[in-house]
Structure 1
């Protein structure tokens, strides 16, 4: 007997997924510093961006965003999956201006920035951080 499985992300089924990403629209709504490239499918936005950096092609403010990645990775090289169009999957490049030994604070600042941005939009939302930068909404991890 085969059991059907419908993937959910934060309790949201595939039936209510967002519309496709529009590269031109995204770029028109953000500051010129950021340059967003949308790819429909990739192994990993992080690997794609790393290839550009290693080839000296990546520009400061470059962003790669995808509808789906088959080999996403997070902290400590852990892999993660999400159904297509159900999550924000992106990597961005900021050219370092400090020594590598001074980078330790960056994940903390990123997490705090997300919390501040979300609570600015909706002050009633239950948003918190789990060390060092896991974003929780209503006690469920979403970033």
Structure 2
């Protein structure tokens, strides 16, 4: 990872960005959380060439070979009320998908709530964790993006990497890709909060984000199976995203608002 290529974009990323590049660590989210508890300000970015104990949702283990992807965590301190924070993983997924489309992957989209896909295959995962710090709650946004993984290195058969999808155009440089991703993520984040920072309640920013996310979300309009935290499965058609970021599923007993769960896109027979 060429740090100078990222810091050269500081004007795009904002003066408060602090970049920390680690050769290896257990988890970039854990490092960012530790820095947050020690008083780090919003804008800290922790990048690792390799992490040995990465985690996904539901404490699933997650690992990729060294220098084969982007492993990054961003420390945020939103000014919006915590009831709005469930939008953070959706916001991040939207930013990843938009970055990939602008990098030449037009089939990139977002799967509710926190995966980025190219076609039907997962190329990135997102984990947002809330951290209690001496100056208030903070959010650590973790992103793992498969860049140069070979078919043998993919964690599951339903995954992919940019190298496998790029074809003749080639794979973007990881440092340039990171700078583009951070610029898009922070721009989307600031727009989400802009009305609140100006003294309003943030509703307009949330509606802009909701509209943009709905356009990018490939889950909508699909038949899905949702594995709920209770252990039950909900079968139905994903119809919309509500004002709080929940997925609306039209099931056999009517419409259900899903706030958490693993979603499987059901392929037509």
The interval holding the TM-score normalised by the smaller chain is: 0.7 to 0.9
**Residue in 2 aligned with 1:42?**
25
The structure with higher relative contact order (CA 8 Å, sep 6+) is: 1
**Residue in 2 aligned with 1:16?**
none
Give 1:96 shift.
2.2
Distance 1:41 1:128 in 2: 30
Distance 1:33 1:54 in 2: 18
**Residue in 2 aligned with 1:88?**
70
The Cα RMSD (Å) is 1.6
Query: Is residue 54 of structure 1 aligned with residue 37 of structure 2?
Result: yes
**Residue in 2 aligned with 1:139?**
120
Question: Which residue, out of 90, 94, 106, partners 1:125?
Answer: 106
Is the 8 Å Cα contact of residues 42 and 70 (structure 1) preserved in structure 2? yes
Query: Is residue 77 of structure 1 aligned with residue 66 of structure 2?
Result: no
Is the 8 Å Cα contact of residues 43 and 69 (structure 1) preserved in structure 2? yes
Question: Which residue, out of 103, 107, 114, partners 2:89?
Answer: 107
Distance 1:54 1:102 in 2: 22
Distance 1:117 1:22 in 2: 19
Is the 8 Å Cα contact of residues 127 and 137 (structure 1) preserved in structure 2? yes
Is the 8 Å Cα contact of residues 67 and 89 (structure 1) preserved in structure 2? yes
Q: TM-score, normalised by structure 1?
A: 0.77
Give 1:76 shift.
2.1
For the residue of structure 2 that corresponds to 1:68, the secondary structure is coil
Is the 8 Å Cα contact of residues 67 and 85 (structure 1) preserved in structure 2? yes
In structure 1, runs of 5+ residues without a counterpart are: 1-20
For the residue of structure 2 that corresponds to 1:69, the secondary structure is coil
Instruction: State the 4+ residue runs in structure 1 displaced beyond 3 angstroms.
Output: none
Q: TM-score, normalised by structure 2?
A: 0.42
Give 1:139 shift.
2.3
For the residue of structure 1 that corresponds to 2:97, the secondary structure is helix
**Residue in 1 aligned with 2:5?**
25
**Residue in 2 aligned with 1:15?**
none
For the residue of structure 2 that corresponds to 1:84, the secondary structure is coil
Distance 1:24 1:59 in 2: 21
For the residue of structure 1 that corresponds to 2:45, the secondary structure is strand
Higher Cα radius of gyration: 2
